Amino acid sequence: MSEVVTEKVKKSRKDIIKDIAIAFLSILLLLTFFSNTIMNYSLPEVAIQQIESGTISPMVRGTGTVEAADPYNVKVTQERVIKSVAVAVGDHVEKGDVLYYLEDKQSTELTEAQKKLDDLMQAYETALFSGDIDNDAINRVRGGGTLTMDQYQAKLKAATDRYDAAKKADELAQAAIDELQSAQSYTSAQYSYDTASTQYLDAEITAELARLENEEQLKGYDYSERKTQLQDMQANLTKDNTQLSTQAGQVDSDYNRRLASLQDIKNKTAAELDQANTEKQEILTGIAKEIDLVGQRSEIQEQQETVDKLKKESTGGQIEAPVAGTVADLKLKAGESTNAENEVAVIQIDGKDMVASFSVTIDQAKNLKVGDIAEPQNAWYYTDFKATLKSITADSQNPNTKKILTFSIQSTEVQAGQSVSLQVGQKSDTYDLTIPAGSVREDSNGKFILVVKSKSSPLGNRYIASRVDVEVLASDDTTAAISGSLEGDEYVITTATSPIKAGDQVRLANENE
């Protein structure tokens, strides 16, 4: 068997370097290609639209609910239960036509008013005959009369003057008694002092006589003459003491008689003061009671007027339309109750306009003025329709950015509660440069657009966003007419997948299609 020997040919160094170079270039090309693809997919994707001529219709459009401009709110003052509803929303009614039938029951307000009147009458009659006022006052109050404030004041002054005079007389009587009692006490004290003085001297003489008597017995002295003198003096003292005692008794009796007389006067002044005070309190009570009764009488009169008014305003068994017009709203249904606070129905009066409102931006409102005529967006639906811009006011929900447009609606084909879609504004016009309205951007330097600029490269075209300052000449809901440094064939960026600015590289949305 023969043996096959394979000999491997060795490459030269030059061939090896050549192979390495080829491999390096291939890898470099592959990396360049894939890096370009990866970069492109990481760029913001934008949609573009070519600038072109077009027509602008700067119409402001919106939808609002029709309401009565000057509705008549039908109300009843009494609470009644609805038995049935006689009309429907949208019906035309004449004045006097029945809107609701009511259950046959007196109103709650009238029942409560009558009960309050009865309670007031009972309280008034009880107070009238309580015994706190005299018969003249009773007759005066019952007869509808009343005293003036001056007359009340005069009555009270007379009673007060009597009381003050009685009080002064009683105080003077008491002062006289106090003064006499003080004098009696002083005089009595003086007599007591004098009597005590004579008694003291008598005791001294008695002691001296005893001493003399003792010395005579012990020493044999004779004091007869001295003793006689002392005894004479003692006899005089006894006489004086008797006289003082008698005189003191007489003086005290005199004081007591005078005090008794003064006490009689005091008793009379006290009785007069008590009577004057009683009279004053009775007059005060009577005046207060009479004033209160007059107030009760007035309250009864007012309540009687309320009852009479409720009886007069009683709706009977039905609620009627007070004006001619179209029923715009019915607030109640069978079984529900009326009340004085809320309306039971709303009527659009014949000959009165209706209104519809909707919110727009401040920029949209700038191009409008009161008196502009609006048209229905679906004009084909109406044969009799007229809408006029009535007012432009701030939107309370967004006062810094929005305005409320209110239109006067004249039409026999719409009713309150329906929606109408209106458009109002200038007539259409043609412009050389128009773009989608959403393409216009704005910053502190003004309004601008971003257009796409193309740059060639070894690996293909590069697309760069470029800023162009513009002025918006006109706009509508979808399109804006502009002017600026433009040729007219540029492509404007309309949307982007992420925020972009001038100078950013972008990827076209339809680039790979």
Residue 68: predicted pLDDT: 73
Q: What is the 3-state secondary structure (H, E, C) of 214-261?
A: HHHHHHCCCCHHHHHHHHHHHHHHHHHHHHHHHHHHHHHHHHHHHHHH
Parallel/antiparallel/unpaired status of strands 45-50 and 505-508: parallel
H or E element in which residue 493 lies: strand 491-496
Nearest to 390 by CA among 422, 350, 430: 422
Distances (CA, A) of 31 to 18, 34, 40, 112, 321: 20, 5, 14, 97, 88
Domain with CATH 1.10.287 in the chain: 135-313
Place of tokens 């609006």: 374
pLDDT tens-digit map of 10-32: 567 777 777 777 776 766 665 55
Topology of domain 135-313 in CATH is Helix Hairpins (1.10.287)
d(CA 190, CA 185) in angstroms, rounded, equals 9
What would the two tokens of residue 472 be? 């918006």
Q: What is the C-alpha to C-alpha distance for residues 408 and 410, in angstroms, rounded to an integer?
A: 7
Per-residue pLDDT of the chain (513 residues; tens, 9 = 90+): 444 444 455 567 777 777 777 776 766 665 555 555 555 667 888 899 899 988 887 778 889 888 877 778 888 877 778 888 888 888 888 888 888 888 766 667 778 888 999 999 999 888 888 888 888 888 888 888 888 889 889 888 998 999 999 999 999 999 999 998 998 899 888 888 888 888 888 888 888 888 888 888 888 788 888 888 888 887 887 777 788 788 888 888 888 999 999 999 999 999 999 999 999 998 898 888 889 988 999 999 999 998 888 777 665 678 888 888 888 888 888 888 888 788 888 888 876 778 888 998 887 788 788 888 888 888 888 888 888 888 999 988 888 888 899 988 888 778 777 889 888 876 678 888 999 988 999 999 999 999 999 887 666 678 899 999 999 888 777 888 899 988 888 899 999 888 998 989 898 886 544
CA dihedral (283, 288, 289, 290) positive or negative: positive
Residues in the chain: 513
Alpha carbon distance 322, 348 (integer Å): 12
Given this model, what pLDDT does residue 73 score?
A: 87
Strand, helix or coil for residue 446: strand
Q: Where in the chain is the domain with CATH 2.40.420.20?
A: 44-56+431-508
Taking each helix axis from N to C end, the angle separating 108-128 and 135-142, rounded to the nearest 10 degrees, works out to: 160
Q: Which tokens sit at 70?
A: 């000057």
CA 352 to chain centre: 35
Choose among 456, 439, 457: nearest CA to 448. 439
**CB neighbours of residue 475 within 10 Å:** 20
Which residues of 303-445 form beta strands (DSSP E)?
318-320, 325-330, 345-349, 354-361, 373-376, 386-394, 402-410, 419-425, 429-436, 441-443
Q: Which CATH number fits domain 44-56+431-508: 3.90.1720.10, 1.10.1040.10, 2.40.420.20, 1.20.1090.10?
A: 2.40.420.20
Residue 459, pLDDT score = 61
Q: Please enumerate in sequence order all residues whose Cβ is within 8 A of that of 188, keeping only pairs 6 or more positions apart, or say none.
A: 248, 251, 252
